[in-house]
Structure 1
């Protein structure tokens, strides 16, 4: 996949997948309105929601850019990367896109005091986990072999490392 195609494909997939999953569906559920008092009556819960959204959006954008520019592909399974991406957010956790999307949805749930959004986020996280185990990791293992094995041995699937992994140091 050429660089221009990778960028265009990533932009297209961005609007098809995360924009729909973390934007349109939560809007359908909540209309982005505060429905009730914050959870536990604490304003800090709403602040935590804002923080999750504020962290999730740049991680999502950065990860998509890395797929196109460094991986020379897209996050979409139909147009995968040619190179394993192990830089940026991927030095801390193997699945920053799924984590970012989940954080954005859960953040909206906390911000708007919407239990349905929290349930949606939890179910989506479960779906992501199943997809990663059943399809994504076996495919990456087959495609990138020992490079992916070294990566999985050093970078956790869901809970980010505190220090970035440096592939040359392993």
Structure 2
């Protein structure tokens, strides 16, 4: 009977963290910077659909990656990690899909609003996230999951997605 309660806690924690972290980083802060005032691209109208696609794809991947954490009975928040290493779905292609999705959302907004401050903010977010991944996340995952994480890390890139999904040992070459 503990499993349904753990699953419910995982979903509640995941949704809470979604609004707390990416909601602030990719929503509230860009809104504060830009006021979400759209730019009239005029004859360069193609920029707007590109921006909207970047935002939509970023949101879709972010929601999917977050759901995988709840499915694995944990959250993306460091204080409530999953019971198992998440290496399914988008995590078979790239180790940091949530961070890449957040960056796509922010950069899409920078384009949509033609706002260099939002683009500069995206660069700051990338530097902060990269530093967090290297200084905290990778050592913590190595401590928690050991060889399983090291094998995963060896086969799945952190920032530039693979073309084919990693399938664990049977797919390793």
Query: Does TM-score exceed 0.5, indicating one fold?
Result: yes
In the alignment, which residue of structure 2 is the partner of 1:121?
Answer: 122
* Counterpart among 46, 50, 53 of residue 52 in structure 2: 50
Alignment of 1:47-86 (within 5 A): 47-70=49-72, 72-86=73-87
Q: CA RMSD in A?
A: 1.5
Write the deviation string for residues 29-52 of structure 1: whole angstroms up to 9, x where unpaired: 1111124648xx733333221121
CA distance in 1, matches of 2:50, 2:160: 18
- TM-score, normalised by the number of residues in structure 1: 0.93
Partners in 1 of 2:162 and 2:47 — Cα distance? 25
Tell me how many residue pairs correspond in the alignment: 167
Q: Is the Cα contact below 8 Å between 2:41 and 2:47 reproduced in 1?
A: no
Contact 2:95-2:158 at 8 Å conserved across structures: yes
Q: Which residue of 2 aligns with 1:28?
A: 32
Q: Provide the TM-score with structure 2 as the length reference.
A: 0.91
Unaligned regions of 5+ residues in structure 2, if any? none
